[in-house]
Amino acid sequence: MSDLRLVYLSHAMDVFRPTEAQVRRFADLCGDGADVRRCTSEAEFLALLPEARAVFVWDFRQEWFDRAPKLRHLCTPAAGRDYFRVVPPPRVAMHYGTFHGAIMAETALGALLACTHGLLPFASAMRRDGGGKAWPRRDIMLRSRRLCGQTVAILGFGRIGRAFGALVKPFGATVIGVRRSPVPDPAAADRVAGVGELDEVLPLADHVASFLPSGPETDGLLDARRLALLKPSAFLYNFGRGNLLDEEALAGALRRNALAGALLDVFREEPLPADSPLRDAPNCFLYPHASAFAPDYLDLYFAKAAAEIRKLNAECTMHEEPRPAREEG
């Protein structure tokens, strides 16, 4: 069986573009039967596509399926199911990245600790004070808290959310995961609630961190009504997708001191418009969709992808179609 695998991960960001060494390591992980080729141009990719059984890409066009009669696996490092705007033929299984938790959980934990102890607002205040008069020790004393004893609600308790919960729990915080299908996970949460219980969970939380994907069921989930359920002392974090949040309502809540702060990595429109109300909302800290950046991003991806494709190929015969990877809720 021909097992040509094409790696065409062209991207403007270095961490999302593989080096030759990374592709060689990937080839080693794939095993002796795999012929792994690194494509550096669209022309090279399209020339080899007719013989490819699996492709690893950031972009794929609908018309390319007609060029790929042997294709069985369409793979991307992206986690969001909204990333590919294509409809694959039945013979092609789509695979998304499932490795992001190792990176994003650390980013989210750093954000949570920074907000809990006032590191972000007060460090910024001291830098802005050109006269050198700011010395906000009393303000920090009144605001700083330990994570121990606080309640952290995690919206989207899939792989990434569970990785975050597993980092938070050792600090002594109470963790509540929220997902479509509640399944107990004592290592990562003290309680796992259903989406239908969200209105009950939000008032309990000192921190609300979202890792939810994009989709009709999450669009506007945190609207003005639900934001009003949060404590005035609560912090909100969004590392999932920007469709979740009513950004104008959040900016208004921050201006009214109805929330302690927010740290957002994703937005409804990206890049974030210059006139967004979030840009000058108090205690609103903005990150440019970068919570998964790390030098070993593609190393983690390739290790997971090679293992998944090896397993699927072992389960399939020449005449069987691969089963798509199961999505998490």
Please check whether residue 37 lies inside any domain of the structure.
Answer: yes
Residue 328 is predicted with a pLDDT of 45
Residue 18 is predicted with a pLDDT of 97
The answer to whether residues 191 and 301 belong to one domain is: no
CA–CA separation, 12 vs 7, rounded Å? 16
Please check whether residue 219 lies inside any domain of the structure.
Answer: yes
The answer to whether 226 is a known catalytic residue is no
The answer to whether residues 282 and 306 belong to one domain is: no
The answer to whether residues 227 and 301 belong to one domain is: no
Q: What is the DSSP letter of 66?
A: G
The answer to whether residues 202 and 282 belong to one domain is: yes
The answer to whether residues 135 and 277 belong to one domain is: yes
Among all chains, which residue has been given the structure tokens 């490819």? 52
Neighbours of 209 (CB within 10 A): 28
The answer to whether 241 is a known catalytic residue is yes
The DSSP annotation for 161-215 comes to HHHHHHHHGGGT-EEEEEESS----TTT-SEEEEGGGHHHHGGG-SEEEE-PPPS
Please check whether residue 321 lies inside any domain of the structure.
Answer: no
Q: Which of 145, 226, 255, 289 does the annotation list as catalytic? A: 289
CA–CA separation, 144 vs 312, rounded Å? 50
Task: Tell which wins on pLDDT, 320 or 122.
Answer: 122
Q: Which of 5, 95, 241, 247 does the annotation list as catalytic? A: 241
The answer to whether residues 191 and 264 belong to one domain is: yes
Question: Is the pLDDT reported for residue 179 higher than 70?
Answer: yes
- By the 8 A CB rule, do 97 and 77 touch? yes
Q: Specify the amino acid at residue 55.
A: V
Indicate the number of domains in the chain: 2
- By the 8 A CB rule, do 188 and 174 touch? no
Residue 2 is predicted with a pLDDT of 66
Residue 202 is predicted with a pLDDT of 98
The answer to whether residues 126 and 16 belong to one domain is: no
Please check whether residue 326 lies inside any domain of the structure.
Answer: no
User: Of 52-66, 118-132, 214-228, 269-283, which range is least confident?
Assistant: 118-132
Residue 84 falls in which region: left (phi positive, over 0), alpha (psi -120 to 50) or beta = beta
CATH number (domain holding residue 118): 3.40.50.720
Per residue, the 3-state secondary structure of 241-255, as one string, reads CHHHECHHHHHHHHH
The answer to whether residues 176 and 273 belong to one domain is: yes
pLDDT digits (tens, 9 = 90+) for 284-328: 999 999 999 999 999 999 999 999 988 887 776 444 455 554 444
Residue 131 is predicted with a pLDDT of 62
The answer to whether 127 is a known catalytic residue is no
Task: For helices 101-116 and 159-168, give the axis angle rounded to 10 degrees.
Answer: 40
Q: pLDDT tier at 63 (50, 70, 90 boundaries)?
A: very high
pLDDT digits (tens, 9 = 90+) for 94-120: 999 999 999 999 999 999 999 999 888
Residue 230 is predicted with a pLDDT of 98
As given in the structure block, the two tokens for residue 105 are 């959980």
Q: pLDDT tier at 132 (50, 70, 90 boundaries)?
A: low
- CA nearest neighbour of 221 among 212, 233, 209: 212
Domain, as residue range, for 165: 101-286
Q: pLDDT tier at 253 (50, 70, 90 boundaries)?
A: very high
Please check whether residue 328 lies inside any domain of the structure.
Answer: no
The answer to whether residues 52 and 177 belong to one domain is: no
Supply the pTM of this predicted model: 0.91
Stretch 68-95: mean pLDDT: 93
Q: Which of 42, 217, 248, 270 does the annotation list as catalytic? A: 270
Please check whether residue 327 lies inside any domain of the structure.
Answer: no
- By the 8 A CB rule, do 242 and 266 touch? yes
Residue 39 is predicted with a pLDDT of 98
CA–CA separation, 58 vs 11, rounded Å? 8
Please check whether residue 161 lies inside any domain of the structure.
Answer: yes
CA–CA separation, 157 vs 183, rounded Å? 9
Please check whether residue 221 lies inside any domain of the structure.
Answer: yes
Residue 240 falls in which region: left (phi positive, over 0), alpha (psi -120 to 50) or beta = alpha
The answer to whether residues 129 and 261 belong to one domain is: yes
What residues contact 223, with CB distance under 8 A and at least 6 apart?
A: 246, 249
Stretch 190-213: mean pLDDT: 98
The answer to whether residues 27 and 169 belong to one domain is: no
The answer to whether residues 275 and 208 belong to one domain is: yes
